[in-house]
Amino acid sequence: MTSEHSSLEHRILEHIARAEYVPVKPRVLAKQLKLDPQRHAELKKTVKRMVRNGQLAYGAEHLVGPPAASETKRTEVIGIFRRAAGGFGFVRPAGTRRAAGKTEDIYIPLKSTGDASSGDTVLVRLRQQRRVGGETRVAGDIVRILERETHQFVGTYSEEAGVCQVMVDGNVFSQPILVGDPGVKSAQPQDKVVLEVIRFPSHFQPGEGVITEVLGARGQPGVDTQLILREFNLPEEYPEEAVEVARQQADRFDESISSTRRDFTGTTIITIDPADARDFDDAISLSRLDNGHWVLGVHIADVSHFVPPRTALDDEAKQRATSVYLPGRVIPMLPEIISNHLASLQPERVRYTKTALIEFTADGARVGTEFFSGAIRSCRRFTYEEVDEFLADRAPWKKKISADVFRLLGDMHELAMILRRRRWEAGAIELVLREVRLDLDADGQVRGARPVENTESHQIIEEFMLSANEAVAEHLADRELPFLRRVHESPDPRKLKDLTEFVRGLGIAAESLESRFEIQRVLEAVAGRPEAYAVNYAVLRSMQKAIYSPADEGHFALASRHYCHFTSPIRRYPDLTVHRLLEALAANQPPLRDVDQLTLLGDHCSRREQRAEAAERELTKIKLLNYLSQRVGEELNAVVTGVHNFGLFAQGIDLPAEGFLHVSGLTDDYYDYDPVAHTLRGRRAGNQFRLGDVLRVAIARVDVDRRVLDFRLTAKVAAARGSASPRKGGSSPHGTAARGPQGKPRPAAETRPTERKKGKASRPGKPAAPGPARPPGASGRKKKKRRL
């Protein structure tokens, strides 16, 4: 061991031995030791070595501590702080989950929050339980800020009585942050600005900061997108070193097919994508054997060929971990020279692939899989709409496409429906959560919205991508190799018991919903009924969130023992790691077996995915609030998405804006909160509001900067399928199917399997109300944010 390594070990041991040390993640430890960023990777390796040697130990959430004390004292807890609008807050302890009807969050009174900001990792000292909003909660005091979520915020600049200040957007801080010399950046009142906070505010002192960038006048076109990019620290430009690697790959590529690749250029292969898609990362072939078996070819863009490991390009892709799909804009994981050109499976061009040839029996049972580095030439690019037209009336297409392509499309539909039926029979959970896509004008402002439907063309691609992902995962698991899985853990049994009681409370006969098949039966039974909204939302809330991890936990919603993401390496880094592992196996190279490193990478990719989804959600919210700010008083139908003791959250059905109805506005009765039943129950017989109810609401108040929308109840809609665009007057009830970002699917816990593709810009908006949704965590096509 070098003296340099020995010195770092000594510093780590000395630091952890301090009486005030509490376990933190390696990246936080590196900051505490004030290591240069270039040495952070060295610290992670040193920590892993010391854990193997018994000098350190990993605790919950990969926190680093002494061997016999990797957990903090029972009276102290580490967690993530969230501040409420009233100044008080809550801390979610690291490694814990919320059980239905109960909460593990720790209540932090205003005077005990210190200068903590939402998202900060904090150390909390527990104290006695307290009654908060009608619930008994554990209370605590924040002892120390272990890690700041960020020092950078966005907000609106103003001047008042000679004082220059910035009101940070959202409910992050209740009071403005004082700023020094705004003239340096030429800030004008009502400008949206980027703020670096130097001193965080607390209940006894104001915050202070410095304006680092002026984004533009409040309401100016494009400013909303820029502020979200800064708020979530989303990268725009690529480092020149990364772009140079991409250019070098472009210079070397000549469409030649080496002997190490299987030549599929003579095979009939097609792609199916959204009409506005620019990168095509999967293509399909399908044939029948003499014994009646099917051979499905899933050909995925060979991104690993163009992104060499341990290069500046690979480092940047890993750092981004995912493409980000915002309303009106895409921030790709890879430079467009690769994502939209070299790796994209464009028609009539030789393109490199990682190919899975999967053999199925006539009734869809998988009996074998082979993997190849391949080369294809797609003979036709279809849009989803074209395939739907073909399926609706095939005769006119005989003159439009070749006989081989005509046969291929028909066979693809037949096999996909067989696979879909088998997946259902295996216990896959599919939710019906209606989704809406925003229509934007040239300035990026909302001009309307339309439902996104999950048609059979999308289902074809979903089923094939799910099959490929599952086949790859089983192939790697059979060889006992660690790899990044897409993990969707089983729901907490307590949540399923509460879900059972909730469903029975709706008058629906049900056995225990701890059985996935009983969940299926109930979902099928309520399809098309008023209770459909309530049941689908309640099932969704009972699910865990899908993540990336090497842990062998399976995928609950897909009823899959082994599952990973293989089919979208252009937009997801975990898929790229799987491609490289398959390549190492094919070359008989010993693959890496560093589970600790995979765990850290999975955590990073999961956090990047969550950041992308949050950014899309916030920008969608801002655009909708700007639209609705001109329509105060208008009415729309909304579905109840959250029930609390203080009121209801409801989301528009035709326009996916979520607003709040405070319990004080429900003036016709006194209401009691039932957390298990997700219900506010009035004291008059039959008077209640529950999860999934459809309400007629008026837009009462819009605060774009605080990102707040308040509704006023005008009526309860009898049919759960009611919907209406914001307007004066009535509406006609109807329902529609749901879909994932940019047209890609989502899972049950991820709302549905993400096997669909995205187009130029991601679908703005989150699931609204019922319409077919997929199991959480599945994914394979271009999509955006909600991933399985």
Q: How many CB atoms lie within 10 A of CB 773?
A: 30
Whole-number Å distance between alpha carbons of 360 and 445 = 48
pLDDT over threshold 80, residue 39? yes
How does residue 342 score in pLDDT terms, banded at 50, 70 and 90? very high
* CA 280 – CA 342 distance, rounded (Å): 11
H/E stretch holding 499: helix 493-505
CA distance 181 to 163: 10
Q: Residue 165's beta-bridge partner residues?
A: 158, 178
b/e per residue 123-140 (b: at least 16 CB within 10 A): bbebeeeeebeeeebbbb
Give me the mean pLDDT over the 420-437 stretch. Answer: 91
Per-residue pLDDT averaged across 31-56, rounded? 85
The conformation of residue 552, written as its DSSP 8-state character, comes to: -
Tokens coding 352: 């490199």
Q: Are 512 and 496 in contact (CB under 8 A)?
A: yes
Asked whether the beta carbons of 416 and 455 are under 8 A apart, the reply is: no
Q: Using CA atoms, how far apart are residues 703 and 28, in angstroms rounded to an integer?
A: 36
End-to-end CA distance of the chain: 43
Assign 512 to helix, strand or coil: coil
pLDDT at 384 > cutoff 80? yes
CB under 8 A, 24+ apart: contacts of 216-220 = 216/191, 216/192, 217/188, 217/190, 217/191, 217/192, 218/156, 218/190, 218/191, 218/192, 218/705, 219/626
Q: What is the pLDDT of residue 499?
A: 93
Q: By C-alpha distance, which of 25, 29, 13, 27 is closest to 66?
A: 13
Per-residue pLDDT at 724: 34
Position 65 pLDDT exceeds 70: yes
Burial of residue 7 (CB within 10 Å: 0-12, 13-18, 19+) is: exposed
CB-based contacts of 92: which residues, under 8 Å, 6+ apart?
Answer: 79, 80, 82, 98, 104, 105
Secondary structure class of 366 (helix, strand, coil): strand
C-alpha of 395 from chain center: 41
60 class by beta-carbon count within 10 Å (0-12 exposed, 13-18 middle, 19+ buried): middle
Q: Which residues pair with 283 in a beta bridge?
A: 299
DSSP 754: B
Q: Which residue has the higher pLDDT, 781 or 265?
A: 265
Q: Which amino acid is at 510?
A: A
Write out pLDDT tens, residues 93-116: 875 544 333 446 899 998 899 899
pLDDT beyond 90 at 304: yes
Mean pLDDT of the chain: 85
Selection from 768, 734, 763 nearest residue 652 by Cα: 768
pLDDT tens digits along 505-559: 888 999 999 999 999 999 999 988 878 888 998 999 899 999 999 999 999 999 9
At 21 the pLDDT is: 77
Q: Each residue of 627-679: pLDDT tens digit?
A: 999 999 999 999 998 898 899 999 998 898 999 999 999 988 999 998 888 88
- Residue 101's pLDDT is 37
- Per DSSP, helices labelled H in 130-200 are none
pLDDT-based confidence at residue 691 (cuts at 50, 70, 90) = confident
Q: What is the mean pLDDT of residues 252-258?
A: 93
Angstrom CA distances, 526 to 197, 509, 511, stand at 51, 11, 15
For residue 266, give every residue at least 6 positions away whose Cβ sits within 8 Å of its Cβ, in sequence order, or none. none
CB environment 373-382: b (16+ within 10 A), e (fewer): bbbbbbbbbb
Burial class (CB in 10 A: 0-12, 13-18, 19+), 593: exposed
Three-state secondary structure along 21-71?
CCCECHHHHHHHCCCCHHHHHHHHHHHHHHHHCCCCEECHHHCEECCCCCC
Per-residue pLDDT at 729: 34
User: Which three-class secondary structure state does DSSP give residue 405?
Assistant: helix
The larger pLDDT score, comparing residue 160 to residue 371, is at 371
Nearest to 322 by CA among 706, 623, 608: 608
- DSSP class of 629: T
Kindly report, residue by residue over 713-752, the tens digit of the pLDDT: 998 884 333 333 333 333 322 222 223 333 333 344 454 4
3-state secondary structure 423-490: HHHCCCCCCECCEEEEEECCCCCEEEEEECCCCHHHHHHHHHHHHHHHHHHHHHHHCCCCCCEEEECC
Q: Which residue has the higher pLDDT, 599 or 5?
A: 599
Contact 445/221 with Cβ under 8 angstroms?
A: yes
- What is the percentage of the chain residues whose pLDDT exceeds 70? 86
Phi, psi of 227 (to 5 degrees): -70, -35
Least confident range from 338-352, 643-657, 764-778: namely: 764-778
Name the residue with higher pLDDT: 4 or 345: 345
Mean pLDDT of all residues in 418-431: 96
- On whether the CB atoms of residues 711 and 634 are closer than 8 A, the answer is no
pLDDT at 768: 33
Tokens, residue 359: 């053999």
Residue 70's pLDDT is what?
Answer: 43
